Amino acid sequence: MGDRLTDAEIETPARSGILVGACGFSYDEWEGFVFPPGLPKTERLTRYAEHFRLVELDSTYYGTPRADRVARWADQTPEEFVFTAKVPKQVTQQARLQGPLALGELERFLTTMRLLGPRLGPLVFQMSPGFRYPRDFKALHTALEALPSLGGDGLRFAIEFRHPSWLERDEPAGLLRSHRVAWVWNDWLPTEAYLAPMPRAIDDPRAQPVTADDFAYVRLIGNHAECIDYRSITVDRLDDLVRWAELALEFRRGREARGVYILLNNHYSGSSPATIRELERRLGLDVEPFGSPDLGHDLASSINAAHPGDAVGPAHQAPLPSGQARLPGF
């Protein structure tokens, strides 16, 4: 079992500030956009980490990675880079957190992910719409109680609910709060028309409980049924991005030691890299172009096409609301 994180590791940038990144880092469609043409796939993470400080590992959803692969991820990124990761679906979606096999897989996952050392950020339980309150509350309670004994001591966790039943009473938020597990603030639409989406934190105060006092976790996912090209903003989310930025800034106002992790899926607006840069502008972070000058031009063109009249240059910073201080870039 991995060792508990040291005090020095806990005080890394993985623990405070506002970080914005993508769900996944190795998309073929990003070639010629984020990655130079012909860049070997084995070098994509290194290139991604030159331009972004945060990534959510999607591959871990399909199973615990091999230890040597996790070690390579650490070797390919600077120490200030932050990985978050989804707990394997064998634990969340298939077993619904129940049973010795699920908890055994969770222990193996936690032990392996600790190999990232100070680069390790929160680990995310992405639950399915079929995981519902109150039916599955006992399983959630049992799993959270078991986390320390499974190797979770000193780690950060977040849980994403995808069924509105979890908002019916205060009991679920109280349970997460007692274990300092963050309630994921998400923006997700189910592809199945018969499923009700979770209310968004920017629309419904019930959907923004603060259950981990020291950090918040935001997942902007969108609808996977949307047709996208991964390079262009095809869904105009500017108004929503402004509101998500305001929520993140409000969470840290007067509490600068708090961390906020914001993850964007390509399906949220068509291109997570372009949307990351736009959200960074709205947060008041220093924004730098990525890739070659031509790639930076492509990014600005993508944003400008979606938001005419709000044109940006490769390193433009949006004017901030009155009284809002600009945050240092990471």
pLDDT in tens, 169-200: 999 999 999 999 999 999 999 988 889 889 99
Q: What is the pLDDT at residue 255?
A: 96
Integer distance in angstroms from the first to the last C-alpha of the chain? 32
Q: What is the pLDDT at residue 286?
A: 87
Q: Which fold has domain 7-306?
A: TIM Barrel (3.20.20)
SS3 115: helix
Running along the chain, 330 residues long, what does each successive block of 10 average in pLDDT? 42 74 98 96 97 97 98 97 98 98 98 98 97 98 98 98 97 98 96 89 97 98 93 95 98 96 98 97 87 48 54 39 35
Cα(243)–Cα(246) distance, integer angstroms: 5
Helix axes 100-113, 137-146, angle to 10 degrees: 40
296 residue type, one letter: G
Cα(84)–Cα(50) distance, integer angstroms: 17
| Angle (nearest 5°) at CA 57 between 68 and 177 | 115
Tens digits of per-residue pLDDT, 280-320? Answer: 999 999 887 765 444 444 455 555 555 554 544 433 333 43
User: What are the residues whose beta carbons fall under 8 Å from the beta carbon of 202, sequence distance 6 or more?
Assistant: 187, 208, 240, 243, 244, 247
DSSP 34-78: TB-TT--GGGHHHHHHHH-SEEEESGGGGSPPPHHHHHHHHHTS-
Every domain of the chain and the residues it spans: 7-306
β-strands 185-188, 120-126 pairing: unpaired
| Angle (nearest 5°) at CA 211 between 267 and 148 | 100
